[in-house]
Every structure is written in C-alpha cells, then in structure tokens.
C-alpha cells in the first residue's frame, strides 16, 4: 500500500480560485479606503466646525445638506474673493497675545470655467499704520484693533472690527477672515515637513529677539543696544527738563541660560543658500523686522505663505493621510474663522 499517494491534500482543495481571491482583496481595499475617507471627512468637518465662529458652521452644514445648492463664496460671481489673514501670538499669551503681528488680504480671482485658472495675490498691511478704532474716539496702530475689538464686545468683536478697518484702508470688500496663532503656524509648517527658502545672502536678526533693554551695568546687561535713555527731571513748578546726561542701554549678556529663554535664540541667523525651515525657524524668519524694513518683512511673510500653500497642496502631502491629519490638528485649537464649513469647503476647491 502506497501511503504517500493517499495523504490528504487539504491546502489544494481549500484554495480559492485566483479570480475570487483578487475580488476579495479588491473589496477589502475599497472598504478600507471608504472607511479611511469617512474618518478623514468626519475629522475635517469636526475641525472646520471647531474653528468656525458663531453659528456659521451650523448654517454651512444645513446648506451642504440641501441638494442643488450652489456653493459659492461671497464675491465669486463678481470675480474677486477677499479674505483677511491674521497672525498673532494667541489669546492669553504674554507679550500682546491678541496684537496682530501679521495682517494680509488674500485676494482670489476664482476660475470661471474649466479652461480658466484660479489666480491669487497677497496684500500686506503695515502693522504700525494708525487708524480710527471702532467704538472709540481715538487712533491706534492697526495691529491693536483686534485686541480692542475683543475687549469692546467681550470676546466677539475683534475679527469684525479688523475686517471693517482693513476694508477701509485697502478699499476692498472683505467678507471673510482667518486668524491663526503662532503655535498653529509652527505646527502647520512641521506637519508638511518644513519649507525651503533660498537666500542670496546670509540673514540675521540680532536685535528683535534679544529681550529687554536696561541701563548697562557692566555685569549682567553688557551688550550695547545702540540706544540711550534720557532721564527727565521735574522742576519745582511742575515742568520737566531732560538731564543732559544720557544712559546707554544694554541687552543681557548672552549665556546659555539666557539664550534658552529668548525667542529665536536671541540672535537669529540663516546662512546663504537653501535653508529647510521647521516651524520655529519659519516663524522667526517671517517675524524678523528690527534689522530690516517692513517691506522686506512683508515679502518674507508672503514667500513663506506661498511655500506652505504649494507644499500643502502637493501630491506628496495630500496622498499622505498622516500629514493631512497633522495639518488639520494644527488648526483645531489654534485658528478661528468666520467662514464656516460651507464656505471653507468652497475655498478649498478654489485653491
């Protein structure tokens, strides 16, 4: 008796035909993608709801559920959509948390047909521009309007006041606004793997991030700032006169402990050539202004925003769920807008 010839062939008998195996694999892949897409869509909606002010998100959700509704942005039919972009330290942050460090208008010319292309431009507004503050009989720098608006309307007027004032200054109708704090900006840049800037010459900001200036004492405050303090003396009749003696002002001596506490390491430098910037460095590069001009600063900010947009919308980023998820997370607690889900989705299609 040949035992080998009668050994059961259990694997061969239970093997599925190739076509059925591939069909099952295909269905599993489709199911996985559908599940991942559903989770992603839910997360996107949750984030957009979170950053939307007021009831705009509720309205957007209702409008999205109505079949046949034309989902267009205000100004789209007229060929121009304007969005106010604000960057600031963030609420409850020491050092002027709600002062607008960056004020820009994103002006979009939407595509009108399949052959057309969307065009966009960025307009920077100088942060030291003096304006009439809404609800007050006084003038202040435009970067203070948001903070004063929040104070006036108990936490609800900053964005509205900024839209009104920037609209008056620029002559543009600005129906939408987006504000992001420094942490959100840094997280967003990190989520896409950083941005690369090319410098024709080395860049240095050696003043802005050095901290407080005090009278030089030869011990702790030893780095001369180039500025002086003039002491005023009161006369008996109540008037003042300037003491002819001027006191030099110094920055604190740069020890390892001091550097660790200062923004951007105190003395921010980038070498000539290509520089891959993470979130911290990109923020320092965009904010630097003391040793350059407002015009130069505006150019750098616009460059950084364009680099973020290009990389965020690249195939390499959009095809990576982890990167897209990290981008959404960066906005959750760090951004606010009055656009709502309905309009945010329309903006995404235009970009």
Q: 339 or 279: which carries more pLDDT confidence?
A: 279
What is the predicted pLDDT for the residue at 168? 94
Range 255-268 average pLDDT:
85
Verify that 130 and 109 share a domain, yes or no: yes
Name beta bridge partners: 252. Answer: 221
Q: Looking at 84-88, 149-153, 173-177, 230-234, which range is the least confident one? A: 230-234
Q: 13 or 260: which carries more pLDDT confidence?
A: 260
Q: pLDDT for 24-63, tens place per residue?
A: 555 555 554 454 444 444 444 554 555 555 434 433 443 4
* pLDDT at position 85 over 90: yes
Share of the chain above pLDDT 90, in %: 28
Which CATH number fits the domain that encloses residue 98?
Answer: 3.40.630.190
Verify that 71 and 190 share a domain, yes or no: yes
Does residue 37 fall inside a structural domain? no
Question: Which tokens go with 316?
Answer: 């390499």
- Confidence label for 68 from pLDDT (cuts 50, 70 and 90): very low
What are the distances in angstroms from CA 190 to CA 88, 89, 280, 321, 329? 18, 17, 9, 15, 11
- Confidence label for 347 from pLDDT (cuts 50, 70 and 90): low
CA dihedral 248→249→255→259, nearest 10 degrees, is: -150
What is the predicted pLDDT for the residue at 121? 87
Verify that 55 and 156 share a domain, yes or no: yes
Verify that 174 and 76 share a domain, yes or no: yes
Is residue 88 within 8 Å of 101, Cβ to Cβ?
Answer: yes
What is the predicted pLDDT for the residue at 142? 93
What is the predicted pLDDT for the residue at 141? 92
Verify that 276 and 240 share a domain, yes or no: no
What is the predicted pLDDT for the residue at 57? 41
Is residue 150 within 8 Å of 157, Cβ to Cβ?
Answer: yes
Q: pLDDT for 148-203, tens place per residue?
A: 988 887 777 889 999 999 999 999 999 989 999 999 999 999 999 999 999 999 99
Verify that 92 and 62 share a domain, yes or no: yes
Verify that 144 and 290 share a domain, yes or no: yes
What is the predicted pLDDT for the residue at 61? 41
| CA gap 298, 234 in Å, rounded | 43
Verify that 123 and 177 share a domain, yes or no: yes
Verify that 134 and 252 share a domain, yes or no: no
Verify that 94 and 164 share a domain, yes or no: yes
What are the distances in angstroms from CA 116 to CA 112, 113, 350? 6, 5, 11
What is the predicted pLDDT for the residue at 268? 92
Verify that 116 and 172 share a domain, yes or no: yes
Q: Say whether 245 sits in a helix, a strand or coil.
A: strand
Largest CA distance in the chain: 131
| CA gap 340, 63 in Å, rounded | 11
Cβ-Cβ contacts under 8 Å for 332 (sequence gap 6 or more): 47, 50, 51
Verify that 151 and 299 share a domain, yes or no: yes
Does residue 35 fall inside a structural domain? no
What total number of domains does the chain contain? 2
* pLDDT at position 351 over 80: no
Q: pLDDT for 109-130, tens place per residue?
A: 877 766 667 788 899 999 888 9
Which phi-psi region, left, alpha or beta, contains residue 90 (left: φ > 0; alpha: ψ -120 to 50)?
left
Quote the mean pLDDT of the chain: 77
What is the predicted pLDDT for the residue at 108? 86
Q: pLDDT for 272-314, tens place per residue?
A: 999 999 999 999 999 998 877 788 999 999 999 999 989 988 8
Say what the pTM is: 0.72
Does residue 209 fall inside a structural domain? no
Range 246-263 average pLDDT:
86
Q: Which domain holds residue 314?
A: 51-203+264-350
Does residue 36 fall inside a structural domain? no
């Amino acid at each position: 008796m040949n035992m080998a010839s009668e050994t059961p062939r259990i694997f061969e008998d239970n093997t599925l035909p190739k076509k059925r195996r591939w069909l099952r694999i295909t269905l599993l892949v489709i199911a996985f993608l559908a599940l991942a897409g559903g989770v992603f869509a839910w997360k996107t909606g949750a984030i957009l709801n979170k950053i939307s002010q007021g009831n705009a998100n509720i309205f957007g959700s209702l409008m999205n559920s109505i079949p046949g509704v034309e989902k267009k942005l205000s100004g789209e039919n007229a060929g121009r959509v304007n969005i106010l972009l604000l960057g600031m330290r963030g609420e409850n942050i020491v050092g002027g948390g709600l002062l607008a460090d960056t004020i820009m208008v994103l002006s979009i010319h939407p595509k009108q047909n399949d052959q057309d292309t969307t065009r966009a431009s960025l307009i920077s507004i100088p942060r030291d521009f003096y304006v009439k503050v809404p609800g007050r009989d006084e003038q202040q720098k435009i970067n203070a309007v948001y903070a004063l608006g929040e104070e006036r309307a108990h936490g609800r007027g900053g964005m509205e006041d900024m839209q009104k004032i920037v609209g008056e200054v620029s002559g543009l109708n600005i129906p939408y606004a987006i504000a992001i704090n420094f942490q959100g900006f840094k997280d967003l840049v990190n989520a896409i793997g950083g941005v690369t800037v090319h410098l024709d010459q080395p860049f240095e900001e050696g003043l802005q991030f050095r901290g407080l200036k005090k009278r030089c004492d030869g011990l702790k405050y030893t780095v001369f700032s180039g500025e002086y303090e003039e002491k005023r003396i009161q006369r008996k009749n109540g008037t003042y006169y300037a003491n002819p003696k001027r006191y030099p002002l110094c920055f604190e001596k740069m020890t390892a402990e001091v550097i660790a506490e200062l923004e951007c390491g105190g003395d921010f430098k980038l070498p000539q050539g290509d520089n891959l910037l993470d979130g911290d460095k990109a923020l320092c590069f965009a904010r630097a202004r003391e040793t350059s001009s407002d015009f130069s600063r505006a150019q750098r900010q616009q460059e950084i925003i364009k680099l973020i947009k290009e990389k965020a919308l690249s195939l390499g980023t959009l095809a990576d769920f982890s990167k897209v998820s990290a981008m959404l997370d960066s906005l959750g607690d760090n951004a606010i807008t009055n656009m709502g889900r309905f309009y945010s989705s329309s903006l995404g299609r235009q970009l």
